[in-house]
Amino acid sequence: MKKKRLLALILAGSMLLAGCGSGGKEKDGKDSGNSNSNDSLTVVVPTDVGKFNPQYTMTHADIFLGYQIYEHLVHFVDGEWKGQLADSWDFNDDKTVVTFHLREDATFHSGDPVTAEDVKYSMETNLERPGMAASKEKILEINAVDEHTVEVKLAYPRESILFEFATPTWGIMNKSYCEEKGEDAFINPDGSGAYKLKSWNKGSSIELEAYEDYTGEIGNIKNLKFEIIPDQSTAVIALENGSVDLIVNATAANITLLQENDKVEIKSGPSHTASKLFMNVRSGQTASKELRQAIAYAIDRDAINTVAYEGRGEVSTGTFSDFMYYSGIDFSYEYNVDKAKELVEQAGLSGTTLTIKTSENYGSEVPTLIQQNLAEIGIELKIESLEASAHSDDYLNGNYELWYAANSSVLPDVSEETYKNYHVPENTDKFFAPADDFINDKLEAAKNEPDADKKTALYDDILMDVKDNAGQLDLVNAPSNLVYKKGLQNVYLDPNGMIYCYQYFNW
């Protein structure tokens, strides 16, 4: 009798524990993420949101959520500009002042109207954050001209500033609400976006619902749920069994697996993330330009695309084909083993041993392929895989011969990316860049050129110098993709893999 009672107690306790729910949030009784009704969309995110602050984008989830709850002035969707909070915008003749005309009927979720003061406040607080030094240099002044007009004065001609305002941290916040609530304003956010926060089941899911007074463009998705699934294999199974609708950037292996499934669709294309090889031009054996160029000729980037990206990437031309101020010139090195051998001989470094540093984040697949390529020209390459922060430290301090990483170009603009990559600030060094006295002057001249054609030509010249220097080689532009349940319409692919406004999607 006693035993039975004990067993009953254990079972009851177990059921009670399991039934206690998760985090005390109210649920509507649906299975996790089940969103088969045609006004709901469930999107997988790998991590939870830190807080709903558009300026604090630590994870992809922060970015994904920021774009639904907050509005940006403009958006770049499917290669075209869309006004979001701004109805229209115009530049002055020399492209140093841009004026935004706001949607007059736009309101925050609390009902407060969105004003030019809110835009000014959001932009100014964003510029004060660490990591915004480069943006701060470009923007001289932000003025609220009237209740619905904002004027931004720039330090130099810069039409591509619009790209910057479309990036995650430039979401527009409610000034009075933020000042009144402090940090709590980002736990219960008050944006003006198409969706407002319904519930946050910490670590598990975030539910949004359409903002009933939203006056911008919105499709038929009224309920938007973000399901937090860290392991992508689990996310793929959830998509297959129908409990989620969309995965952003599935791995190559999962794409191959899902291609067989006729219930899902895959949209893929090249991203703005490239795998890159950096070589130290200041010290060590890679200080020899002939050796660096030999390495550049020896790398078979087609093979890297085939093996590491299953052929879904795009062999890089040294920049991205859809970037502003890109002339179409190929700045990359052809695959030419004979030329590479010749250059190694010239450098007198045949049979030498080099080390490439990679990290757990980037893996050793691409470095292994480079190792095989260099073996063909008589160079032994050792691969050193480091912990992520040690890897970054070595990059900053120039403690490398060859350094491998994949990184994203956030602004689709040759001028921005070239300046950011190769401009050498005072008292610091970029160990892969051409010498500062040589490159900085050219970069400054190109930056200040207002005419687009002349600007493009100046950047062509700089990128030719960069090619000749062979300190940084862009290898393959990685693929970007969305995998989703069949029936979802108006799906666009963001090359950065994160700027999605689900208000434009439809069932």
Partner 1 sequence: MSRYVLKRLLMMIPIILIVSFIVFSILSLTPGNPGQIILGATAEKEDVDALNHELGYDRPFLERYINYISDALHGDFGLSYSNRRPVFEEIFNAFPISLKLSLLAIITAVVLGIPLGVLSAVKQYSIVDNICTVLAMVFASVPGFWLSLMLILLFSLKLEWLPSHGMDTPLHYILPVFTMSVSSAASFMRLTRTSMLETIRQDYVRTARSKGVPEKVVISRYALKNALLPVITVIGSYFGILLGGTVLTESVFALPGLGTVILQAIRMKNVPMVMGATIFLASMFSIIILVTDIVCAFVDPRVRAMYSKK
The residue from 118, 164, 190, 227 that contacts partner 1 (CB under 8 A) is: 227
The residue from 51, 101, 222, 289 that contacts partner 1 (CB under 8 A) is: 51
338 is a contact residue toward partner 1 (CB under 8 A): no
Shortest separation between residue 235's beta carbon and partner 1, angstroms = 8
133 vs 464 by CB, closer to partner 1: 133
1 vs 18 by CB, closer to partner 1: 18
| Exposure b/e, 161-185, CB count within 10 A at least 16 = b | bbbbbbbbbbbbbbbbbbeeeeeeb
The residue range among 83-91, 167-175, 391-399, 493-501 that interacts with partner 1, by the rule CB under 8 A, is 391-399
47 vs 107 by CB, closer to partner 1: 47
19 is a contact residue toward partner 1 (CB under 8 A): yes
6 is a contact residue toward partner 1 (CB under 8 A): no
Alpha helices (runs of H) in 70-173, residue ranges in sequence order: 116-127, 133-138, 161-165
Two tokens at 404?
A: 């491998």
488 is a contact residue toward partner 1 (CB under 8 A): no
Cβ burial, residue 457 (10 Å; 0-12/13-18/19+)? middle
56 is a contact residue toward partner 1 (CB under 8 A): yes
How many residues touch partner 1 under the rule CB under 8 A: the total is: 60
93 vs 262 by CB, closer to partner 1: 262
Q: Classify 286 in phi/psi space as left (phi over 0), alpha (psi -120 to 50) or beta.
A: alpha
111 vs 130 by CB, closer to partner 1: 130
179 vs 451 by CB, closer to partner 1: 179
> Could you identify the residue written with the tokens 């219960």?
188
Shortest separation between residue 13's beta carbon and partner 1, angstroms = 7
The residue from 79, 111, 131, 351 that contacts partner 1 (CB under 8 A) is: 131
Shortest separation between residue 19's beta carbon and partner 1, angstroms = 5
Shortest separation between residue 113's beta carbon and partner 1, angstroms = 29
Nearest to 483 by CA among 498, 496, 469, 493: 493
Residue window 348-377: x/- pattern of binding to partner 1, with contact defined by CB under 8 A: -----------x-x----------------
Gap between the Cα atoms of 266 and 286, Å rounded: 42
240 is a contact residue toward partner 1 (CB under 8 A): yes
Alpha helices (runs of H) in 128-174, residue ranges in sequence order: 133-138, 161-165
256 is a contact residue toward partner 1 (CB under 8 A): no
Q: Classify 318 in phi/psi space as left (phi over 0), alpha (psi -120 to 50) or beta.
A: left
Residue 352's φ and ψ, nearest 5 degrees, are: -75, 160
137 vs 465 by CB, closer to partner 1: 137
Q: Give me the count of residues in the chain.
A: 507
Is the CB of residue 443 less than 8 Å from the CB of residue 419?
yes
> In the beta sheet, which residues pair with residue 277?
404, 473
Residue 455's φ and ψ, nearest 5 degrees, are: -60, -45
136 is a contact residue toward partner 1 (CB under 8 A): no
Angle of helix 365-376 relative to helix 301-308, nearest 10 degrees, comes to: 150
Q: Both ends of the chain: CA-CA distance in Å?
A: 58
97 vs 132 by CB, closer to partner 1: 132
The residue range among 21-29, 103-111, 346-354, 452-460 that interacts with partner 1, by the rule CB under 8 A, is 21-29
The residue range among 16-24, 69-77, 263-271, 314-322 that interacts with partner 1, by the rule CB under 8 A, is 16-24
130 is a contact residue toward partner 1 (CB under 8 A): yes
Shortest separation between residue 228's beta carbon and partner 1, angstroms = 6
| Exposure b/e, 122-145, CB count within 10 A at least 16 = b | bbeebbeeeeeeebeebbeebebe
| Rg, C-alpha atoms of the chain | 26
79 is a contact residue toward partner 1 (CB under 8 A): no
Shortest separation between residue 398's beta carbon and partner 1, angstroms = 11
Residue 248's φ and ψ, nearest 5 degrees, are: -95, 130
223 vs 306 by CB, closer to partner 1: 223
Shortest separation between residue 452's beta carbon and partner 1, angstroms = 27
3-state secondary structure of 358: strand
66 vs 219 by CB, closer to partner 1: 66
Gap between the Cα atoms of 100 and 117, Å rounded: 13
Cβ burial, residue 222 (10 Å; 0-12/13-18/19+)? middle
The residue from 228, 248, 298, 299 that contacts partner 1 (CB under 8 A) is: 228
241 is a contact residue toward partner 1 (CB under 8 A): yes
Gap between the Cα atoms of 200 and 338, Å rounded: 60
The residue range among 172-180, 231-239, 377-385, 473-481 that interacts with partner 1, by the rule CB under 8 A, is 231-239
The residue from 268, 392, 490, 506 that contacts partner 1 (CB under 8 A) is: 392
Gap between the Cα atoms of 191 and 184, Å rounded: 13
Interaction site with partner 1 (CB under 8 A): 10, 13-15, 17-23, 27, 31-33, 47-48, 50-51, 56, 58-59, 130-134, 183, 202-205, 227-231, 233-235, 237-238, 240-241, 243, 359, 361, 387-393, 395-396, 405, 407, 425, 428
